[in-house]
Copies of this chain bind each other. A is one copy, B any other.
C-alpha cells in the first residue's frame, strides 16, 4: 500500500472534532509537533500504553470499542496521579487502510475523547500489524500529584467502585461463552473502562498514595506496598464485587476476578480515616478493603481470606499464619 494512504488517514484524524485546537492546545495536528500551554503552577503527567492485537485484544475486535478501551486504559494512569487530561497522541499501526474500520475507529475515538474532555494532539499512522500506542498528557497542580509512595501506617486501604468486572467478562470477550444479557454490563466494562478521573482529582490532598488497578488488585497493592515501604493488609471479604459477575460465575470465581484479574482501571489508594467521610459525602463509591499495618522496607502484602492470613507474593500466595487480629 502506498504511503500516501497513510497520510490521508493522518488527515482524517486531524479533522476529527476531538483534534480541534483551543484552550490548552495552542497548535494541534498538522505541524511537526503539537504545542500545549499549561497554566502556571501546574505540572505535566505523562503515560504511555500499547495494545497489540492477539496480546491485548482479540482479532476482529470492534474498532469503536477498541478505540474507547485504548483511551480509557491510558487515561486511568492520569486518574491515578490525580491529573486532569489535556491531550493524547495516537500511534496506530494498521495492516491496510480499511475505510470501514477506520471510520468506526475514529468515531469511537472521537466519542471517548469528547466524553473525557481530552484532545487528540498528534500521532503517527503506519503500516504494520494492528497495534495502538497512546501517550496521554495531563496536568496537576504542582506538588499535588498522587504517587504510589506515601502510604502511612494507620491509613485505610480503599478502592473506588466494584472490581473484577473486566476479568469476569473474558469468557465472553474471547467467545468461550455464548452471549447472554447478564454479561452485557461486564462486557461494557471490559471494552469501555471508565477511568476514575474525578475520583483521582478528589483524592488530591487526601490520599497518601494511589495506583490504578490494571494488573489485578493484589498485584497492584503489592506495587503500592513496595513503593511506600509498608505492610498492606487486604480483607478479601470487603472487596466489592459485581452482582452480575457473582450471578454468572459464582461468588468464589467473581472474587478471584476481583483479587487477581486485570484490566479493572479502578483506583486503589491509602487514605487517612478522617478523609473517608468527606469523599463518600461527595458521592464517590469508595470501599475500605484493608489498611496499612506497619512500615516494612521493600513492602509486603497480606490477605485475610476465609479466616486465614496469607502473605501474597508476586508468584502467588504463601500461607504463613492464622489471623491474629482479624
Residues of A in contact with B (beta carbons under 8 Å apart): 4, 26-27, 30-38, 40, 43-50, 52, 54-56, 76-78, 80-81, 83, 87, 89-91, 93, 121-124, 126-129, 131, 133, 135, 137-138, 140, 142, 145, 147-149, 210-212, 227, 314
- In Å, the complex CA distance between A30 and B47 comes to 11
Measured between beta carbons, the chain B residues less than 8 angstroms from A37 are 43-44, 142
A78→B33 contact, CB < 8 A: yes
A31→B133 contact, CB < 8 A: no
- In Å, the complex CA distance between A121 and B129 comes to 26
Closest B-chain residue to A212, C-beta based? B32
Contacts A/B (CB < 8 Å), 25 sampled: A31-B81, A31-B148, A31-B149, A31-B227, A34-B46, A34-B47, A35-B45, A35-B140, A36-B43, A37-B142, A38-B44, A44-B137, A46-B89, A46-B137, A48-B123, A48-B133, A50-B91, A50-B124, A50-B126, A50-B128, A52-B127, A55-B127, A128-B131, A133-B133, A135-B135
B52→A93 contact, CB < 8 A: yes
- A contacts with B: majority SS: strand
A93→B126 contact, CB < 8 A: no
- For the complex formed, measure the closest distance between the CB of A116 and the CB atoms of chain B, giving whole angstroms: 15
- In Å, the complex CA distance between A36 and B133 comes to 20
Scoring A26, A48, A121 by chain B CB atoms within 10 A of each residue's CB, the highest score goes to A48
- For the complex formed, measure the closest distance between the CB of A91 and the CB atoms of chain B, giving whole angstroms: 4
Q: How many copies does the complex hold?
A: 2
Scoring A43, A121, A133, A138 by chain B CB atoms within 10 A of each residue's CB, the highest score goes to A133
- In Å, the complex CA distance between A37 and B215 comes to 28
Measured between beta carbons, the chain B residues less than 8 angstroms from A314 are 4
A133→B33 contact, CB < 8 A: no
- In Å, the complex CA distance between A148 and B37 comes to 19
- For the complex formed, measure the closest distance between the CB of A229 and the CB atoms of chain B, giving whole angstroms: 13
Measured between beta carbons, the chain B residues less than 8 angstroms from A49 are 91, 124
- For the complex formed, measure the closest distance between the CB of A278 and the CB atoms of chain B, giving whole angstroms: 23
In order of increasing CB-CB distance, the 6 nearest A-B pairs are A52-B128, A32-B80, A33-B45, A135-B135, A48-B89, A133-B133
- For the complex formed, measure the closest distance between the CB of A24 and the CB atoms of chain B, giving whole angstroms: 9
Measured between beta carbons, the chain B residues less than 8 angstroms from A121 are 46
